[in-house]
Amino acid sequence: MTKWVYGFGDGKAEGDANMRDLLGGKGANLAEMSNLGLPVPPGFTITTEVCTYFYAHGRQYPQDLEAEIDAALAHVGKLTGRAFGDADRPLLVSVRSGARASMPGMMDTILNLGLNDKAVEALAREAGDARFAYDSYRRFIQMYSAVVLGLEHHLFEDALEELKSSRGHVQDTDLTAQDWKGLAKSYLSLVERESGKAFPQDPRRQLWGAIGAVFGSWMNARAIKYRELHAIPESWGTAVNVQAMVFGNMGETSATGVAFTRNPSTGEARLYGEFLINAQGEDVVAGIRTPQNLTEAAREEARTDKPSLERAMPSAFAEFKRISEVLEQHYRDMQDMEFTIERGKLWMLQTRNGKRTTRAALKVAVDMTNEGLISRKEAVQRIDPMSLDQLLHPTIDPNAERKLLGTGLPASPGAASGEIVLTSEEAENAKAGGRKVILVRVETSPEDIHGMHAAEGILTARGGMTSHAAVVARGMGKPCVSGFGALRIDPAKSTLSVGKSVLKAGDVITIDGSTGQVLQGKIAMLEPELSGDFAELMSWADEARRLKVRANADTPLDAQTARRFGAEGIGLCRTEHMFFDEGRIVAVREMILADDEKGRRGALAKLLPMQRGDFVELFTIMSGLPVTIRLLDPPLHEFLPHTDEEMKEVAAALGSSVEKLRRRAQELSEFNPMLGFRGCRLAIAYPEIAEMQARAIFEAAVEAAAKTDAPVRPEIMVPLVMTRMEFDLVKARIDAMANAVAAERKAKLSYDVGTMIELPRAALLSGEIAQSAEFFSFGTNDLTQTTLGISRDDAGSFLGTYTAKGILPADPFVTLDQDGVGELVRLAAARGREARPGIKLGICGEHGGDPASVAFCERTGLDYVSCSPYRLPIARLAAAQAALGAIATTEG
């Protein structure tokens, strides 16, 4: 027979902290505290299975439930010496929901349940305070009517206001016991009038009403929405906690408060909290009265006269301090606690692992490790890798005032302020003039790279989390807000508008790439801090992980950042990013416009020394670490100018005609560039491009090896391979170039040639390809696009609907689609290894910095992940957690 109800109180409980799934977070912790012998008001938890049953059976309860609840109530009565509806010592209870995960959006608490016209008199007698009793009664009626009976809150507020004004009072405290009693009475008639039924006087009916309301609230719109947003399965259900009331508002020896065992903002290892004398729990959070500090030390720091709990109720405080230490030691984590003191007696109402800032999380984890409370591995598992993003970028001072213009997508974390500029050219000019700017564009293209470099941050009207702007900004570690749909740009007037606000170029704005907010004016920032606890924890993470972590880095600057953030190599150097440099784009365009191979080779010869120079720098910076260089990948039309104006300029610069330029652009234009003439298809059609790049790589390897006196072994990566023969043809060119360079420079070259696996066909045929390829790097961005048939540039139009409806569990460009794309990766890894045991396998692309995706890579046994430099700490920590086989949970 299923047990539906679990009791607790009086130093023992039927459940414990491990029964979170069954009892919910709150219920499990109440049981655990009882088992620890801590003073918990007795009560019981109705399990989440009742909720599941309830919805599976057309909102009916299991047959045995009523008997179990009656027995549990009787036990609570026995422990408290009270009974429902008892004329002398009525049992009053609170009823609270409590799901497995903390879930705002569900039912509010109902307090004082059990009060009725009789019990209120007994309460008045017992408390010796009729005013308190009737105030409690009318609060209960109001709360119950709103939550259970569905009456509008304001009806009750209106009645209270009416009473006050009829009495000429302003504050609640001015009302007498008689006033409250009268109000309770008028509330009761109000309920009967509005609902057509008398307010239930029978406490058991009240209780069943409240239980029904908790279960009902599991399916209210707010709760459903919250579950959608936080990927909480409907099947989990909620538990209901019924617990004897204790009163923090029974006079000056009563109090209520909340506390953390450590400071949740800084992590400092000192009891931290607030309380109010003669108050109920809601009053602390409601903010009507200013709460007092818990400890003397905190009071002194705050320079306030209001006495601390330590001073005001020293013995209750001492008991609470002892309990807080017991709880932290027991749970081995920082606790967030609620307590009530009823006439000098301390009662614990809740404990859970406390939410904290990233900074605090690091300090708590490191301190607890040093205290011997947890192991280094546990410390590593305690930190949410994604939360590190906060640390790695400047953040807006949480205390600063924000003048919000609107919110776009949080495309690249961090915050930045600067003057509005509307073109990349202006951005560069401003930068040269020492001004800080935010580059504002409808969308960015590769030609904006330099403007993006010059800007403090980027704001775009179009494009999703993986648009060009977003990807490039993340790579640069610059804040970016993308897809800010409300933005209208008028280039003619050099203005932009957001709704009714109009701003002009030169006005200062601030963007917060961590939240997507766009703010007016300059706002105070906090700078990142990468040493101390952060460095300590990262070193423990590095001890724990198996996966290597590399960076996607295209420039020497990227490479330096990557090393600073702990890169163990470069997993993806996109050579095309080097092509957009002002000094080079002319030669690149000359190559594209050339009429024949000879013309192309002429233009490529100009690019060779520049590419070689880049690679020498890269190899030098990364000395001793592997560097994977990808051959030219994007379709050539990306390098051509787009506007008439630019065409004219370029034609003039190249000594060509606008007409020819336009014709070539027309020839190269594509309906679906993502599936077009790019990747190794370029190298097949124009092998001279791959040859130039290979030569640059090999010559640079020789030079860098001489310079650093350390061997350089480049890894050359062929993109967008679909068949083995494609790879073989390109590899043959690379090998030939290696032989040529080796002969010319009289050097011995070691290198690997491998391929991106970024097309489903390549994944399927990986066994064949691995016969030639010396490594695979999974290009999961493109592999996601092709496997799912979703263009990431266009996904914005429906992807939001898809994740909201749960059709996709997450944006597949952020978190790897393990069922689809993941299956191809698993399959390709297996086939690749079968053909070439020990083949090096990595992942590059956005997923390399996503914890869930990193965990997938660990499970699949890849050798490394590669991500943008600013994501490296996340990847390192995620890799460690994946190796340790657990996902961090720090919140209760």
Q: Out of 375, 539, 750, 801, which residue is the one contacting a copy of itself (CB under 8 A)? A: 801
Q: Out of 73, 741, 821, 839, which residue is the one contacting a copy of itself (CB under 8 A)? A: 821
Pick the closest to residue 473 from 390, 358, 560, 558 (CA basis): 558
- Between residue 262 and residue 281, which ones bind a copy of itself under the rule CB under 8 A? none
CA-to-CA separations, 327 to 37, 334, 726, in angstroms, rounded? 11, 9, 63
Q: What is the smallest separation between the CB atom of 190 and a copy of itself, expressed in angstroms?
A: 38
Q: What is the smallest separation between the CB atom of 841 and a copy of itself, expressed in angstroms?
A: 19
- Between residue 674 and residue 693, which ones bind a copy of itself under the rule CB under 8 A? 674-677, 679, 681, 684-685
- Between residue 166 and residue 205, which ones bind a copy of itself under the rule CB under 8 A? none
CA-to-CA separations, 536 to 370, 530, 571, in angstroms, rounded? 11, 10, 25
Per-residue x/- marks for a copy of itself, 723-742, CB under 8 A? x-xx--x-------------
Judge whether 879 and 889 are in contact, CB under 8 Å: no
The one segment of 382-390, 579-587, 737-745, 793-801 that binds a copy of itself by CB under 8 A: 793-801
CB-side neighbour CA atoms (13 Å) of 312 = 23
Q: What is the smallest separation between the CB atom of 672 and a copy of itself, expressed in angstroms?
A: 4
Element (H, E) at 230: helix 221-230
Q: Out of 745, 793, 814, 891, which residue is the one contacting a copy of itself (CB under 8 A)? A: 793
Q: What is the smallest separation between the CB atom of 554 and a copy of itself, expressed in angstroms?
A: 22
Q: Out of 791, 810, 814, 891, which residue is the one contacting a copy of itself (CB under 8 A)? A: 791
Verify binding: residue 758, a copy of itself, rule CB under 8 A. yes
Q: What is the smallest separation between the CB atom of 788 and a copy of itself, expressed in angstroms?
A: 5
With respect to a copy of itself, which residue has the nearer C-beta, 303 or 805? 805
Q: Is 330 tagged catalytic?
A: no
Verify binding: residue 207, a copy of itself, rule CB under 8 A. no
Q: What is the smallest separation between the CB atom of 643 and a copy of itself, expressed in angstroms?
A: 17
Element (H, E) at 864: strand 864-867
CA-to-CA separations, 735 to 60, 272, 678, 749, in angstroms, rounded? 74, 66, 21, 10
Q: Out of 672, 709, 837, 838, which residue is the one contacting a copy of itself (CB under 8 A)? A: 672
Q: How many residues bind a copy of itself (CB under 8 A)?
A: 50
Verify binding: residue 819, a copy of itself, rule CB under 8 A. yes
Helix intervals (H) in 10-64: 20-35, 48-56
Q: What is the smallest separation between the CB atom of 767 and a copy of itself, expressed in angstroms?
A: 11
Verify binding: residue 288, a copy of itself, rule CB under 8 A. no
Verify binding: residue 786, a copy of itself, rule CB under 8 A. yes
The one segment of 174-182, 510-518, 697-705, 753-761 that binds a copy of itself by CB under 8 A: 753-761
Please report the DSSP string for 604-629 in residue order. Answer: HHHHHHHHHHHHHHHHHHTTTS-EEE
> Hey, how many other C-beta atoms are within 10 angstroms of the C-beta on 775?
22
Q: Give the integer Cα–Cα distance in Å for 462 and 513.
A: 15
Q: Out of 57, 807, 861, 889, which residue is the one contacting a copy of itself (CB under 8 A)? A: 807
Judge whether 30 and 45 are in contact, CB under 8 Å: yes
Please report the DSSP string for 399-418 in residue order. Answer: TS---EEEE-EEEE-SEEEE
**Catalytic-role residue among 844, 847, 857, 867:** 844
Verify binding: residue 670, a copy of itself, rule CB under 8 A. yes
Judge whether 763 and 825 are in contact, CB under 8 Å: yes
The one segment of 278-286, 624-632, 794-802, 875-883 that binds a copy of itself by CB under 8 A: 794-802
Verify binding: residue 633, a copy of itself, rule CB under 8 A. no
Q: Are strands 5-9 and 627-630 parallel, antiparallel or unpaired?
A: unpaired
**Catalytic-role residue among 51, 75, 393, 468:** 468
819 three-state secondary structure: coil
Report the DSSP beta bridge partners of residue 833: none
Q: Are strands 415-421 and 508-512 parallel, antiparallel or unpaired?
A: antiparallel
With respect to a copy of itself, which residue has the nearer C-beta, 547 or 765? 765
Q: Out of 720, 753, 828, 839, which residue is the one contacting a copy of itself (CB under 8 A)? A: 720
Per-residue x/- marks for a copy of itself, 823-842, CB under 8 A? xx------------------
- Residue 807 structure tokens: 């059709």
With respect to a copy of itself, which residue has the nearer C-beta, 402 or 826? 826
Verify binding: residue 163, a copy of itself, rule CB under 8 A. no
With respect to a copy of itself, which residue has the nearer C-beta, 376 or 468? 468
CA-to-CA separations, 560 to 69, 254, 279, 617, in angstroms, rounded? 65, 60, 57, 10
With respect to a copy of itself, which residue has the nearer C-beta, 527 or 819? 819
Verify binding: residue 787, a copy of itself, rule CB under 8 A. yes
Verify binding: residue 671, a copy of itself, rule CB under 8 A. yes
Verify binding: residue 802, a copy of itself, rule CB under 8 A. yes
Q: What is the smallest separation between the CB atom of 793 and a copy of itself, expressed in angstroms?
A: 4
Q: What is the smallest separation between the CB atom of 679 and a copy of itself, expressed in angstroms?
A: 8
Q: Give the integer Cα–Cα distance in Å for 303 and 62.
A: 56
- The CA dihedral of 627, 631, 637, 640, to the nearest 10 degrees, is 60
Angle between helix axes 821-835 and 780-788 (nearest 10 degrees) is: 120
Element (H, E) at 370: helix 358-370
CA–CA–CA angle 294, 295, 301 (5° rounding): 110
With respect to a copy of itself, which residue has the nearer C-beta, 443 or 507? 443
The one segment of 135-143, 366-374, 569-577, 801-809 that binds a copy of itself by CB under 8 A: 801-809
Q: Give 109's DSSP letter.
A: P
With respect to a copy of itself, which residue has the nearer C-beta, 138 or 600? 600
Q: What is the smallest separation between the CB atom of 194 and a copy of itself, expressed in angstroms?
A: 33
Phi, psi of 872 (to 5 degrees): -55, -45
Q: What is the smallest separation between the CB atom of 824 and a copy of itself, expressed in angstroms?
A: 7
Q: What is the smallest separation between the CB atom of 154 and a copy of itself, expressed in angstroms?
A: 30
Q: Give the integer Cα–Cα distance in Å for 892 and 196.
A: 41
With respect to a copy of itself, which residue has the nearer C-beta, 155 or 675? 675
CA-to-CA separations, 681 to 57, 685, 783, in angstroms, rounded? 60, 6, 17
581 three-state secondary structure: coil
The one segment of 67-75, 193-201, 319-327, 781-789 that binds a copy of itself by CB under 8 A: 781-789
- Residues whose CB falls within 8 Å of the CB of residue 455, separated by 6 or more in sequence, listed in order: 418, 421, 427, 431, 437, 438, 439, 478
Pick the closest to residue 541 from 112, 47, 879 (CA basis): 879
Q: What is the smallest separation between the CB atom of 222 and a copy of itself, expressed in angstroms?
A: 22
Q: Give the integer Cα–Cα distance in Å for 464 and 793.
A: 7
Q: Is 468 tagged catalytic?
A: yes
3-state helix, strand, coil in the chain (%, to 5): 50, 15, 35
Q: Out of 2, 798, 834, 889, which residue is the one contacting a copy of itself (CB under 8 A)? A: 798
Judge whether 254 and 277 are in contact, CB under 8 Å: yes
With respect to a copy of itself, which residue has the nearer C-beta, 300 or 670? 670
Catalytic residues: 468, 844
Interface positions with a copy of itself (CB under 8 A):
667-668, 670-677, 679, 681, 684-685, 720, 722-723, 725-726, 729, 758-761, 764-765, 782, 785-791, 793-794, 797-798, 801-802, 805-808, 817, 819-821, 823-824
